Structure 1
Amino acid sequence: MSYRQDVIDALNHKQTELTPWAFELTSEFSELYRKKYSCQSVEDDLRSHIMFGKYKKMEWLNESKYRDIFGVEWQLGDDGGDIGIPVNKPVTAESVEEYIFPDIDEVLLQKGLYSMEQDTEHFRMFRFTYALYERAWALMGMEDMLLNMALNVSATMKLFERIAEYNMTLLDRILTSDFDGVYFGDDYGQQKGLIMGPDCWRKFIKPFLKEMFAKVKASGKYILLHSCGDIEDIFPDLIEIGLDAYNTVQPEIYDLKKIKREYGKDLAFWGAISTQQFLTERTAQEVFDKSVETIKVLGQDGGYIFSPTHAVTPDIPIENIRAMLEAVNSVQWK
């Protein structure tokens, strides 16, 4: 089995013998798993097909608070997550032009690229977290960001432009390296519809996302976008600007048969086993059964990466993740 080739085939809508899979894990879940199974690498034990090259630097201010390279301070919660919530606002509508973006840390960047170049087994992705909209609201605050989309259009557009320029410079630095795809993390959705609405998304976000996607496509690499929530309204837009795969497909939001039927020829899907309302609450047998059912819907004719809908948190029983692994290995297409 070639993990890398199976993912490439899935992204090209080719049927593989087994549907490829990936497990993204929080550090707390990984620690619980390592203790139970005495393994060095949880990802290797779960045989995830995808690995990430990271470019992230944190300055810890105390045990539960850190500052990122953009000057945003994040307070961790007690839910076992690894991100937290921002507690300061480095940018206002009045200071967009004055804000100084961080220099690229060449040592840190090369470390992330080197880890990908040395891995010939997995499908390798460079992770752009907080790619555009998320970076804007992290710098400005979510409420202020949304208000400024309506009340300070020029300043908001300038902030997105400056973030995109920074990202394009970073893309220029990485796209000549040997890896397979770029993963953009940029949450747009809520439980029903887009946070800012599709028209606002098309005005402020789509033009810059299109530029970044075009640069990645020109390098011959795949494009994957993560957004929580319901973004079906912009699936046609994302297909138009070159998206290859969408993560994360929340089954409590999407009709899986419908999106496979209507968009599955153009868009690959990644996710669909719910961390929000399912994996924390159900038995291992229920997880196995739902996983098999989901694979048979989304995995038909390729175009699917089987996965939990988000990073696995410590409140999810380890046995349920093992049940997912058993399920994906039980559905053979050839």
Structure 2
Amino acid sequence: MTSKELVIKTLEFKNKSGRAPRQLWSLPWAGNHYPEELAAINRDFPGDFEGCNVTYKERAIGRGDQYEVGEFTDDWGSRFINVQKGVHGQVKEPIVPEADENWDDLSKVHFPTEWLSFDIEEANRLCKGNDKFVIAGCCPRPFEQLQFIRTSELLFIDLALKPAGFLKFIKKMHQFYCELLEKWAKTDVDALNMMDDWGTQRGLLIHPDTWVEIFKPLYKDYIDIAHRAGKKMFMHSDGHTLAIYPHLIELGLDAFNSQIFCMGVENLAPFKGKITFWGEVDRQHLLPEGTTKEIQDAIKKVHDTLWQDGGCIAQCEFGVGAKPENVRQVYASWDELTG
């Protein structure tokens, strides 16, 4: 069975004899601190997923390296300040200024239409003959991008007051993301992808009713675009996102990368067999502080609670503070339990 076949069977709850598909996310920090250990993990537990990295005919406006100390400007024009090498920085000043309560001045906001300049045939060549599960090279993130443009504090006020200009901007951003996904849906990739970090340690960053009113319809369109083209849809979100799980399942999301240990693995049991848990392993405590035995026990709990002839992907993030032996144990444990 190829990696592609393994992932599809897992997503469709038909993986009766194969192992759990593997995917390792490694931040530059891991490569800087543990290059040999990272290389060995990738060698011994090769991944089943691959991105589709295309070239663009038009150059976007982004400048700098988002993982280096200093300033980084993204392709929308938002400026990030980073004080730690190997991780992502933060936006300190809005490009839609605080005084502009109706979002009238968008002169500093750049819609990255350059992202549309990739060649579909190039993407198809990258997919052709690839036995791994290929995910598209774009990732709509409306909530986060709004924060980058406005800062989190001001955005929360906008979400409460809902000024007309703000809602108009969301519609325009959504149209751009839909256009981008529609183009990627014409390629031979296996899945489209989206993300937004929605959770705090104990709940959503906004009221669930506001999420349903403003953001659920956006995600519905993104998921529908993928499914109309015969693609799967994957989504990532950090934090405690238990409140939106039923909505994402209703929309037909195929795989959700979320902090399942933050929410309590047992609390996700009602969703077993309804959505694929795209990882992850507790990177707040277990990966940096736990023992390999604790990692082994944690993976067994996930398997026993959420695995149903698939429905789980052995995904893990090798990020700041994580012990390489714990990251390795994640994949060793999944291999012991499946396939």
Q: Which TM class, normalised by the smaller chain length? A: 0.7 to 0.9
- For 1:60, the aligned partner's letter is G
Moved more, 206-215 or 70-79: 70-79
Structure-2 change in CA distance of 1:219 and 1:53 (3 Å): same
Within the alignment, does 1:292 sit opposite 2:293 as a pair?
no
Instruction: Output the CA distance in 2 between the equivalents of 1:214 and 1:203.
Output: 18
After superposition, what is the alpha-carbon deviation per residue over 1:37-67, rounded to whole angstroms, capped at 9, x for unaligned? 766xx64553122222357964118853211
Name structure 2 gaps, 5 residues minimum. Answer: none
Within the alignment, does 1:187 sit opposite 2:191 as a pair?
no
- Shift of the alpha carbon at 1:257? 3.2
Instruction: Output the CA distance in 2 between the equivalents of 1:37 and 1:150.
Output: 44
C-alpha contact 1:72 1:87 (8 A) present in aligned 2 = no
- For 1:332, the aligned partner's letter is T
Structure-2 change in CA distance of 1:153 and 1:119 (3 Å): farther
Within the alignment, does 1:3 sit opposite 2:12 as a pair?
no
- For 2:30, the aligned partner's letter is F
Aligned equivalent of 1:305 = 313
Q: Equivalent of 2:103, from 94, 108, 128?
A: 94
C-alpha contact 1:116 1:179 (8 A) present in aligned 2 = no
Structure-2 change in CA distance of 1:163 and 1:234 (3 Å): same
- Shift of the alpha carbon at 1:7? 1.0
5 Å-filtered alignment, 1:1-334, equals: 1-16=1-16, 17-36=18-37, 43=42, 45-53=44-52, 58-60=62-64, 63-78=69-84, 80-81=86-87, 83-92=88-97, 93-95=102-104, 99-105=109-115, 113=123, 116-118=126-128, 120-129=130-139, 131-254=141-264, 256-260=265-269, 262-308=270-316, 311-332=317-338
- Shift of the alpha carbon at 1:231? 1.9
Instruction: Output the CA distance in 1 between the equivalents of 2:289 and 2:35.
Output: 22
- For 1:88, the aligned partner's letter is E
Instruction: Output the CA distance in 1 between the equivalents of 2:322 and 2:276.
Output: 26
Q: How many correspondences in the alignment?
A: 326
Secondary structure at 1:280 match in 2:
helix
Structure-2 change in CA distance of 1:107 and 1:234 (3 Å): closer
C-alpha contact 2:52 2:126 (8 A) present in aligned 1 = yes
Structure-2 change in CA distance of 1:292 and 1:236 (3 Å): closer
Moved more, 114-123 or 11-20: 114-123
Secondary structure at 1:326 match in 2:
helix
Moved more, 164-173 or 119-128: 119-128
Instruction: Output the CA distance in 2 between the equivalents of 1:293 and 1:319.
Output: 19
Secondary structure at 1:183 match in 2:
strand
Q: Please report the RMSD computed on the Cα atoms of aligned residues, expressed in angstroms.
A: 2.7
Instruction: Output the CA distance in 1 between the equivalents of 2:261 and 2:308.
Output: 17
C-alpha contact 1:104 1:170 (8 A) present in aligned 2 = no
C-alpha contact 1:53 1:112 (8 A) present in aligned 2 = no
Instruction: Output the CA distance in 2 between the equivalents of 1:76 and 1:324.
Output: 30
- Shift of the alpha carbon at 1:295? 2.2
C-alpha contact 1:128 1:185 (8 A) present in aligned 2 = no
- Shift of the alpha carbon at 1:327? 1.0
C-alpha contact 2:94 2:150 (8 A) present in aligned 1 = yes
Instruction: Output the CA distance in 2 between the equivalents of 1:88 and 1:250.
Output: 32
- The alignment-based identity, stated in percent, is 21
* Superposition TM-score, scaled by structure 1 size: 0.87
Secondary structure at 1:315 match in 2:
coil
